């Protein structure tokens, strides 16, 4: 367990980036290249800021990568621009965390639930933000990114230029990319189409993107993409597949961590 004194009080920081000569997999902000942030099962971090200061023009610059199964991050902040938070693998849970970024800033192939989190899109150099880029390569894989009861809003640097920036909920990094936003506040920064292509028609028939009972000025699904893999969920039973209890079996292992969680919708 890694315990700090609070967001903005305990800060783990660095500036490794692809633009600075590192690779995406090894450019964690506070560790030497080739050493991951968390890989042992059951890793817990709370009350810490993980910050990559490479800046918006240095391409991929990971603040933290977690490959820890049954890992938990509680009241933490992840600050960067492109590729801020690498949810690499395993079952993961984020509660009351703040995540800042621009391009694909929550990405990876973990089975992960973000609950009661604040997601802040920043001002990107290329005028396009994508919140998620999920990396499922096998349709039988249980991975996916679930955003539940959270908020997606503009960071302070994006607010003055928000009208000139397109911000999307995600794009398919891999063939069977899976991402669900449910009961989440989506502010006016979200583009009406909601989702963005990776390249042409890649994965548009095989991805699984869904929205369920979101709120806010960016939550309307009337002008969303019409891809075969995009779904507007209207059934609680269907949405329940993506809860903490069902998606990451959290009711079995989260109580022992002492971190609060909602098991259902």
DSSP designation for 195: B
Sequence-distant (6+) residues with CB within 8 A of 161 are: 123
Number of other CB atoms surrounding residue 6 within 10 Å:
13
CB 66 within 8 A of CB 87: yes
The residue assigned the tokens 């000569």 is 21
- Candidate list 104, 138, 141, 187, residue with the active-site label: 104
Q: Is 30 exposed, middle or buried (0-12, 13-18, 19+ CB in 10 A)?
A: middle
CB 51 within 8 A of CB 37: no
What is the rounded distance in angstroms from the CA atom of residue 121 to the CA atom of residue 127?
11
- The separation between CA 105 and the C-alpha centre of its own chain, rounded to angstroms, equals 6
Q: Is 98 a catalytic residue?
A: no
Residues classed as catalytic: 104
């Amino acid at each position: 367990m890694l315990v700090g004194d609070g967001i903005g009080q305990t800060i783990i920081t660095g500036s490794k980036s692809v633009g600075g000569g590192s690779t995406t997999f090894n450019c964690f902000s506070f560790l030497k290249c080739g050493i991951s942030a968390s890989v042992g099962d059951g890793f817990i971090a709370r009350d810490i800021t993980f910050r990559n200061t490479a800046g918006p023009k240095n391409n991929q610059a990971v603040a933290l990568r977690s490959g820890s199964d049954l890992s938990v991050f509680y009241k933490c902040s992840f600050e960067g621009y492109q590729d801020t938070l690498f949810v690499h693998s395993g079952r993961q849970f984020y509660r009351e965390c703040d995540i800042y970024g621009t391009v694909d800033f929550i990405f990876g192939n973990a089975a992960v639930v973000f609950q009661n989190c604040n997601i802040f899109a920043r001002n990107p150099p290329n005028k396009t933000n994508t919140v998620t880029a999920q990396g499922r390569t096998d349709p039988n894989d249980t991975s996916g990114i679930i955003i539940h009861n959270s908020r997606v809003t503009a960071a302070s640097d994006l607010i003055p230029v928000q009208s000139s920036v397109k911000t999307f909920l995600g794009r398919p990094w891999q063939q069977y990319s899976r991402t669900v936003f449910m009961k989440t506040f989506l502010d006016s920064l979200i583009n009406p189409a909601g989702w963005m292509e990776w390249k042409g028609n890649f994965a548009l028939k095989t991805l699984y993107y869904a929205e369920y009972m979101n709120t806010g000025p960016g939550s309307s699904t009337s002008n969303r993409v019409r891809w075969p893999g995009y779904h507007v969920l209207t059934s609680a039973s269907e949405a329940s597949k993506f809860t903490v209890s069902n998606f990451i079996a959290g009711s079995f292992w989260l109580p022992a961590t002492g971190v609060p969680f909602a098991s259902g919708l």
